[in-house]
Amino acid sequence: MSDEERNFIGGLAVPFMTSGVHIQQAHAVHPVISIFLETFARCNPPILIGPRATEFISRHYHAWHRGILLLENQALCIPRMLDNPACIQLPLDPLLQERLDVLDYLRSLYSELAEFDQSAAVWSHRALTVDTVKMLAMMQLGDIEDALEHGQTTASSMLHKMENQLGKNPIGEAAAKEYEFLDDAYIQCTRELCRWRVLCEIAKNPHVENPELLLEAAVHLPDWYLARQCRDQGDPEDGPLVPAKKLVDDVTQALVVGWRVLPPILTHAHVKLLQSMTMIREVGDVLDLKRALDVGNQNCGAVMQEMKTVIKIWRSRTYSLSDEMSFISLMYDWRSQIHAMMVQRFHDWERSGIVMPPGMNPQAILPIHSAATGQLLLARAARERGMDHMAIRTLNKLHTLITLPMMDCHQKVIDHLKTLRRLAKKHSTTAQQKMDLLQESLLITEAARIEDFSRDQCCRLFYQKGAILSQLE
C-alpha cells in the first residue's frame, strides 16, 4: 500500500475501532478489534494508530501485549525530557506533545497492570526534574520514609515555583502533571506507612476533596460514621437494604469479571484482585458471627462457637511477602475491629449479669490474643519491609489492649528488641543515636520480668541481650 492508502485506512480505522458499538466484544475471548490492531501492527510499514486509541483498545479489548509493544517501540525513540525547557513553554510543540502522550499512555497501561517498575521506568524517562527521578528510585528500593520526606520537599518547592510563574506565564500541562505525580506519590507513600489520619486530613482539604481517599482512611481509623458519609456522597439515594451476603456475592462476581479482563499471563494486577478477594472473604467470614450477635444476649454458646470458627480461619490466612503494607494493614485493622466488638460484647454480658455456659469463660481471652497476634504480625511485616519506625509504633499499640497474654507480651519484647537493633545497624544512624537505641533496648531487657517467662522464652531474651551487649562494645 502507498502512504496515502495507509493514512486513509488509519483515518477510518481509529473512529471505527474506538466506537462504543463494539463494547459487547469487551469480554470476548478474541475480540475483532484486537485482531484489527494486530493486523495493522504487522503491516510493513505498519498502519499508525494514535497512542490514545492504542491505549483504549489495549485496555478494553484484550490487546495488552500488542498495545504495550506498539507504545514501547515508539517510546524507545523518544529522548529523555529531563530539564527540557520546551516542556514548560506554551503552546507545546505538536511533536513534543505527541511524545508526551506516548509516554503517558504507556505508563497508564503499566499502572493498570500494577507493574510499578515499568511504570517508574517510563516516568523517569518523562520526568522534568531530577528530584522526581530520585523519589522514584527511593520508592523502588523500599525507602518509603525517605521518599516521603523527599517528595514533600520537592512538591513544596515545585508548587512555590508554579505559584511564582502563574502571575507571569500560564502553567504548562507537562509541569502540572509532574506536580500531580508528586502528589500521588506522596499519598502512596503515606498509605504504605499507614498514616491514615494524615491521609484523612489530606482528603478533607478543600483543595483536594477526595472522597475515595477519605473513605479508605475512615475504614482504617476506624470511623464508620465518616465512611457512611463518604458512601452517601457517592450514592445519595436511599434504596432498599441489600443483604450483606448478596453484596459479598456481587463483589466476588465483579472481581471474577475483572480477572477475565486482564491478560492471561499473571501480573501484579492479578495479585491486587486476589487481595480484594481476600478482603471480601474476610467480610464473609464474620457474617454468621454478626447474625449470632444480632440474636441477643441469649445466644452466648452460638456466639462463642462462631467466634472460634472465625479466629481459626484467620489464623490460617496470613499475609505474603508480595503484599503491600496498605493491604496488610487493612486486613489486620479489620480483624482488630471484630476483636474489639467481641471484647465489648463480653463486657456487656458481664455487666448484665449473664452467666456464660460452663467452659466458656476461659475462651473470652481468645479475641484479645488474636488481636495481639495480628498487631505482632503487622509489626513484623513492617520490619521485613524496612519500616522500623512504623514497626515500633505498631508494637506500642499493644499497650492499648485491656490485657495482654504472657506469650504475646514476650513476643512483643523480642520484636521490639529486634527492631531497635536493626535501627542501630542502619548506616544513616549516627553514633549517638546508635548508643541511645542500644541503651533503650538494654533497659527493656532489664525491665522484663523473667520469672513469668518459660525457659525457652528466657533463652530468647538472653540471646537478644547478648547481641545488644556485643553491639555496644
Instruction: Decide if pLDDT at 362 tops 80.
Output: no
Q: Confidence band (pLDDT; 50, 70, 90) for 473?
A: confident
* pLDDT, tens only, 319-344: 988 899 999 999 999 999 999 888 88
Q: Which has more confidence, 217 or 3? A: 217
* pLDDT, tens only, 162-206: 777 666 667 778 888 888 888 899 999 999 999 999 999 999 988
Cα–Cα distance for residue pair 473/264, rounded to 1 Å: 56
Share of the chain above pLDDT 90, in %: 45
Cell of 236: 445519595
Domain-wise residue ranges, the chain: 3-233, 251-388, 405-472
Cα–Cα distance for residue pair 374/310, rounded to 1 Å: 14
Residue 83 backbone class (left: φ over 0; alpha: ψ -120 to 50; beta: rest): left
Cα–Cα distance for residue pair 165/161, rounded to 1 Å: 6
* pLDDT, tens only, 396-443: 999 888 888 888 999 999 999 999 999 999 888 899 999 999 999 999
**3-state per-residue secondary structure call for 322-348:** CCCHHHHHHHHHHHHHHHHHHHHHHHH
Q: Which has more confidence, 349 or 245? A: 245
* pLDDT, tens only, 451-461: 888 899 999 99
Cell of 378: 503487622
Instruction: Decide if pLDDT at 272 tops 90.
Output: yes
Residue 392 has a pLDDT of 94
Instruction: Tell me the mean pLDDT in the region 90-112.
Output: 90
Residue among 100, 140, 90 nearest 120 (CA): 140
Cell of 142: 523500599
Instruction: Decide if pLDDT at 394 tops 90.
Output: yes
* pLDDT, tens only, 29-64: 788 899 999 999 998 888 888 999 999 999 989 899
- Grid cell 507513600 in the structure block, residue: 189
Report the mean per-residue pLDDT for the chain: 87
Residue 432 has a pLDDT of 92
- Grid cell 466458656 in the structure block, residue: 360
- Looking at residue 126, its amino acid is R
Cell of 354: 449473664
Least confident of 92-96, 97-101, 293-297, 414-418: 293-297
Most confident of the following: 44-53, 89-98, 297-306, 460-469: 460-469
Q: How many CA atoms lie within 13 A of 72 on its CB side?
A: 11
Instruction: Decide if pLDDT at 267 tops 60.
Output: yes
Asked if 365 and 340 count as a contact pair (C-beta separation under 8 A), the reply is: no
DSSP string, 134-192: HHHHHHHHT-HHHHHHHHHHHHHHHHHHHHHHHTTSPPPHHHHHHHHHHHHHHHHHHHH
Q: Confidence band (pLDDT; 50, 70, 90) for 229?
A: confident
Residue 297 has a pLDDT of 63
Instruction: Tell me the mean pLDDT in the region 256-272.
Output: 90
Cell of 264: 492471561
Share of the chain above pLDDT 70, in %: 95
Cell of 321: 511477602
pTM of the model: 0.86
